Amino acid sequence: MCPPRIHFVNVAVDGSKLYAITDKLFDSLVVFDIRNAYAITTQYLVIQDPKPQFSVSRRQYSNKGIHYIDGFDANTMVAYGGELFLVIHLADLTFKYNSYSSSTKGFRVFKLDMSGFGPRWLQVDTLGDQIWLMDVCGIQVIKDVNHVQGNCIYFSYANTLPPSPNHDIGVFSLKDKSIKYLSLDSSLPFSGQDFWFIPDT
């Protein structure tokens, strides 16, 4: 009998360990030890209570071939400094075929805690002086950049569904959970593979 297939929705690599989660991301975590390509080991972690909850305000509907999801929860994992984080991105989505637009409503950040009686996702309210740059490619973590506020998530998503007037770009503060949106007209050229850059000035 073949073992059941597992569909992973997100992965993160930290040194010799590869972490993977399924669509039941709050229930379990799979850890692969990849230091030896010929002898990869697997550890299945069952997440203990209390577990984070998805948004309860999700609403889905369609109109004239355009689909809407209000309160969509997207997830991204990032490993940094020997710790594993899970980021839940709350947004309103509109899409039709391969075009979409998003409007970010907030973020929740959780850190994997292996102490106590088992693994748990604990919500964190501070990243210290870290700066997280987030787009469709994932998250990059940087520190000690002049004139750039720390303890924030800088997000950038290209809206490709007309007539979206602006792209989904802004800064989310973990300190007070506020969002400052940055304006960039969607008629201007903008890569679907978003990226951040820091001027060397």
For residue 21, the cross-strand partners are 10
**160 three-state secondary structure:** coil
Specify the pTM: 0.85
Distance CA 29, CA 53 (A): 16
Inform me whether the pLDDT recorded for 162 exceeds 80.
Answer: no
Would you say 76 and 87 are in contact if contact means Cβ atoms under 8 Å apart? yes
Inform me whether the pLDDT recorded for 6 exceeds 80.
Answer: no
Would you say 152 and 132 are in contact if contact means Cβ atoms under 8 Å apart? yes
Inform me whether the pLDDT recorded for 2 exceeds 90.
Answer: no
What is the number of other CB atoms lying within 10 angstroms of the CB of residue 58? 13
